[in-house]
Amino acid sequence: MHPSRTSQPLWQRDWLHAYPPGVPSSLAYPPIPVSGLLEEAALRFSDRPGCTILGRSMTFGELAQQARRLARSLADLGAGPGQCVGMLLPNIPEYIVALQATWLTGATVLQFSPLMVADELRKWIEATGCRIVVTLDLLAPTLLEARAAPLEHVIVTSLAPRFAPWKGWLYSVERLRRHGPFRLRDDGLVQRFEQLLRGSPRPLLRRIVPEEDVAVLAPTGGTTASPKAVMLTHRNLVANAYQVFAWSRNPPGEAQVLGVLPFFHAYGLTVGLLASLVGGWTVHLHPRFEAGPVLDLLERYRIDTVPAVPAMLAAMNRELRQRPRDLSFIRTVVSGASALPSAVREEFAQSGARLVVEGYGLTEAGPVTHVNPLDGHHRPGTIGLPLPDTDARIVDQATGVEELPVGSVGELVVRGPQVMKGYYNNPAETARALRHGWLYTGDLARRDRDGFFTIVDRKKDIIKTSGFLVYPAEVEEVLARCPGVAEAAVVGVPDPERGEIVKAIVVAKPGIQLDLAALERYAAEHLGKQKRPQQYEVVAQLPKNFLGKVQRRRLREAEAGAPSR
Amino acid at 119: D
Mean pLDDT of the 283-311 span = 95
In this structure, what DSSP letter does residue 25 have? S
Backbone angles phi, psi at 266, to 5 degrees: -55, -35
Angle at 123 between CA 119 and CA 128, to 5 degrees: 150
In this structure, what DSSP letter does residue 153 have? E
For 442-478, the pLDDT digits (tens) are 998 999 999 999 998 777 777 888 888 787 878 888 9
Q: CA distances (Å), 430 to each of 217, 266, 423, 458, in order?
A: 14, 18, 5, 19
Architecture per CATH, domain 59-208, reads as 3-Layer(aba) Sandwich (3.40)
Give the pLDDT confidence score for residue 8 in this predicted structure: 46
Give the pLDDT confidence score for residue 301 in this predicted structure: 98
Say whether pLDDT at 205 is over 90: no
Mean pLDDT of the 121-144 span = 94
Query: Which residues have CB under 8 Å from 180's CB, separation 6+?
Result: none
Residue 379: other Cβ atoms inside 10 A: 18
Q: What is the pTM of this model?
A: 0.85
Mean pLDDT of the 67-88 span = 96
The confidence band for 164, taking pLDDT boundaries of 50, 70 and 90, is low
User: Is residue 238 within 8 Å of 37, Cβ to Cβ?
Assistant: yes
What gap in Å lies between CA 551 and CA 339, rounded to an integer?
24
Query: Which residues have CB under 8 Å from 7's CB, separation 6+?
Result: none
Residue 78 CB-density burial (10 A; 0-12 exposed, 13-18 middle, 19+ buried): middle
The Cβ-side half-sphere exposure at 518, using a 13 Å CA radius, reads 8
Mean pLDDT of the 137-152 span = 90
Higher-pLDDT residue of 287 and 178 is 287
For 44-65, the pLDDT digits (tens) are 999 999 999 999 999 999 999 9
Say whether pLDDT at 2 is over 60: no
Say whether pLDDT at 135 is over 60: yes
Say whether pLDDT at 216 is over 90: yes
Nearest Cα residue to 332 out of 271, 393, 388 = 271
User: For 463-561, CATH number?
Assistant: 3.30.300.30
Amino acid at 411: E
Q: What percent of the chain has pLDDT over 90?
A: 73
What 3-state DSSP class applies to 367? coil
Mean pLDDT of the 408-421 span = 96
Nearest 10 degrees: Cα torsion 527, 219, 471, 392: 160
Q: What percent of the chain has pLDDT over 70?
A: 90
Phi/psi region, residue 180 (left: phi>0; alpha: psi -120 to 50; beta: rest), is left
Helix (H) or strand (E) holding 165: helix 165-179
For 84-100, the pLDDT digits (tens) are 999 999 999 999 999 99
CATH 3.30.300.30 domain residues, the chain:
463-561
Give the pLDDT confidence score for residue 565 in this predicted structure: 40
CATH 3.40.50.980 domain residues, the chain:
59-208
